[in-house]
Structure 1
Amino acid sequence: MQDIQEELRDMFLFFPIRLHRFINYIFSFLDEGFSKDLGVLMVLDKYGPMPISRIGNIISVRKSNMTPIIDYLEDLGYVKRNLSSEDRRKIYIEITDEGKMYLENKLDVIDKLIKEKCSNLNDEEIREAIEAVKTITCLIEKIVGPSLHH
């Protein structure tokens, strides 16, 4: 029988692998899979305009890698850059109406995929899974700090 330290180590080592496998499985049914672009749009839609560095912090992408993503989304018309009214040196990224429409369409497809792929789970199992993810998220944030600073 494993002691608690071994179980904790195994959780930290194997949980990300299993989670990555699950995410890849779900998103493999999308034409382009899950992209950082979609993550940026989701963050901006949920939390509102913010600096590039904060978006990168939330989705775990370095600022140097964020600029091409923001440029790409801006070229598509999905985001726009705005100067801060308080500090003109700060640039905030904001999702556009076109970006919101694109995101809504993608999320509809993802919702259908998740519903289909998780159809063998009953409501209680789904609730348990949601609570488990919330618990793991809280534990991770206690260890590494929250990804969102309000």
Structure 2
Amino acid sequence: MSNCKVDLQSVITGLSKLKKKALKSQTEMLRPFGLTSRHAGYIMALSDGRGMTMKALSETLCVDPANTTRVIAYLDEMGYVSNDCQKDGCRKFNVFLTDKGKLVADEMKKSVACHSLEIMDPLTLDEKLTFVKLLFKMAMDNDEE
């Protein structure tokens, strides 16, 4: 264990505040579509158009498969996603955004870009680049756990 002088609680508190701001912004943006921040990760994960299996979505978003099943069922019911299952009861299929879902994804991307600018406004360009680099480094280093 290293001799760490960083106040971990302050780091956690700061990240929690950033997350709360981001979730509030997402929820407000998604409300007119009948969606919440709970649905945001799924829409963004599917926004590249390649489609994903339920298992891949769960792994990508680090969520329980049962949660993925519930969220995708709701998004399907609302017309935001579809799948390539050709027969009843198929166990493995890819989920895709519908045109309606792609519109939401586009709006989310605009909102995220705008909100990111607001959150990062106090930082210099070098600080912004360093911040993003450090977040990815910390996230990737902890992915094996």
Q: TM-score range, shorter-chain basis?
A: 0.7 to 0.9
Query: Which stretch shifts more, 73-82 or 46-55?
Result: 46-55
| CA apart distance, 1:117 | 2.6
Percent sequence identity over aligned pairs: 19
1:56 match: 58
The answer (yes or no) to whether the contact 1:44–1:50 under 8 Å persists in 2 is yes
Which of 33, 44, 47 aligns to 1:45? It is 47
Superposed CA offset, 1:90-139 (max 9, x none)? 12111122211111112212211221232111111101111111211231
| CA apart distance, 1:26 | 2.8
Letter of the structure 2 residue corresponding to residue 63 of structure 1: P
1:123 match: 125
1:72 match: 74
Residues in 1 aligned to 2:118 and 2:18: alpha-carbon distance in whole angstroms: 14
1:93 match: 95
Residues in 1 aligned to 2:79 and 2:36: alpha-carbon distance in whole angstroms: 19
The answer (yes or no) to whether the contact 2:54–2:95 under 8 Å persists in 1 is yes
| CA apart distance, 1:40 | 0.5
The answer (yes or no) to whether the contact 1:52–1:67 under 8 Å persists in 2 is yes
Superposed CA offset, 1:19-47 (max 9, x none)? 23211123323415962311011111237
Aligned residues: 136
Deviating above 6 A after TM superposition, structure 1's stretches of 4 or more consecutive aligned residues are: none
The answer (yes or no) to whether the contact 2:49–2:96 under 8 Å persists in 1 is no
1:39/1:29 Cα in 2 relative to 1: closer, same or farther (>3 Å)? closer
